[in-house]
Structure 1
Amino acid sequence: MSVIFLIYNLPNFIIYFNYYKENKNTKIKIDTKNNSIGIVKNGVLKQYKITEIKSSIYHLGIYYKNRIDNAMRWKMINSDLAYWDLEFNNGDRYYISNLIVDFLHDEPIVENTKYRFRMFQYINKSDSKEALTLKQELERKKEKSQTEKFVEKFKTKSETELNEILANKSKYQKEAVKAVKIIMGNKNVG
């Protein structure tokens, strides 16, 4: 029984240790009235204005992506663990776990906060993958679904009809033109 408990909780132990290692001796105070953030790391206090933030990325569990696409993902035991990648204009960078600042269910403190969704949200400092704002992700999903609809609609059209759409791009939605290009690419390959 204890082996099952250990295996089931192993991801949490790894993430907790990762967060502890990164946030040991770190305190943060966010003052929204004065638009300032104070961070104490290893006894050194640094004060920043919220306007000095260059990049703000929330790294959340994949479960929180349900807010965007309603894919009905199940909540996992480590879903509520997350961290905030915060970079300032002067080059200072902090990885703040939500064990220090609970930001999961609040509005973002920084206006242009972007999001990354992962199954296992350990702090990865070398991660160069592009993060998205929620608005960008919703638009991308909408565009993709519209393109897929046009692919279904246009796949029975002849090559002449498809070329006519390409020749008159300005009269069609960009998703329709993208669908035609996909269909033409598939016809040329196959």
Structure 2
Amino acid sequence: MKILLRENIYFVIGTIIITPIYYYLRKGEQFVLDLLFVKIMSVIFLIYNLPNFIIYLDYYKENKNTKINIDTENNSIGIVENGISKQYKITEIKSSIYHLGIYYKNRIDNAMRWKMINSDLAYWDLEFKNGDRYYISNLLVDFLHDNPIVDNTKYRFRMFQYINKSDSKEAVELKQVEEKNRTEKFVEKFQSKSESELNEILNNKSKYQKEAVKAVEIIMKNKNVG
């Protein structure tokens, strides 16, 4: 909420400062605040915030009757949902998936994405071996900037982090994605190599990184060689 409030303050102050300057430079006249301008800015302000309101409402609806207590010393997780209290061992977790904003994919590919007003909104899809499943927003547990609470946690990245219980997109491990991106870089690097140079890498796999070998295999396959 602090981030949302701060970004909106910046938006309002920026609008108040920039609009009169722009108007004066373009028209050569002093800007006069009127009702039409207020209406237009109100609509823009609403559109600017609408995705965030939807996400907050979604998180509130899912977690309004949920409490979670993570005890890392005893490797246990206590969850109270709709007044029903349950205690689990971390070893009982079947699946742990962090749904993060697309901005945080920069950790993997360094694509220099811009941080959006809703980038810090995320949720945790937590499923236990007995079939119990919870969707925990980071308004309840601020997991976003810490190392994963559960080993082998996987990730999904989306532009808007509303809770999607039917999301069929495959979650990925950070290591898997890092390897994929290193392979892609080797593919670009090796494109100009001759067939004999590529074969030299394949014939001496132990001397090269596995991503480099994989890249050569991809290139050779695309060239229908071997």
Q: Distance in 2 between matches of 1:79 and 1:65?
A: 11
Once the two structures are superposed, the pairs formed by residues 26-175 of structure 1 within 5 Å of their partners are: 26-150=66-190, 152-154=191-193, 157=194, 161=195, 165=199, 169-171=202-204, 173-175=213-215
Cα distance in 2, alignment partners of residues 174 and 8 from structure 1: 44
Q: Which has the higher contact order (CA 8 A, sep 6+)?
A: 1
Match of 2:47 in 1: 7
Task: State the distance in 1 between where 2:101 and 2:61 align.
Answer: 20
SS of corresponding position for 1:28: strand
**Structure 1, residues 65-121: CA drift from partner, whole Å, max 9, x if none?**
111111111000000000000000001000000011100111111011111111111
Q: 1:25 aligns with which of 59, 65, 69?
A: 65
Give aligned pairs, total.
Answer: 177
Q: Which has the larger radius of gyration?
A: 2
Q: Contact (CA 8 Å) 2:183, 2:214: kept in 1 or not?
A: no
TM superposition score normalised by structure 2: 0.73
How far residue 171 of structure 1 moved from its aligned partner, in angstroms, is 4.2
Identity in percent: 74
Q: Secondary structure at the match of 1:90?
A: coil
SS across alignment from 2:170: coil
Q: CA RMSD in A?
A: 1.9
CA–CA distance in structure 2, aligned partners of residues 63 and 105 of structure 1: 13
Is the contact made by 2:69 and 2:77 (CA closer than 8 Å) also made in structure 1? yes
Greater per-residue helix proportion: 2
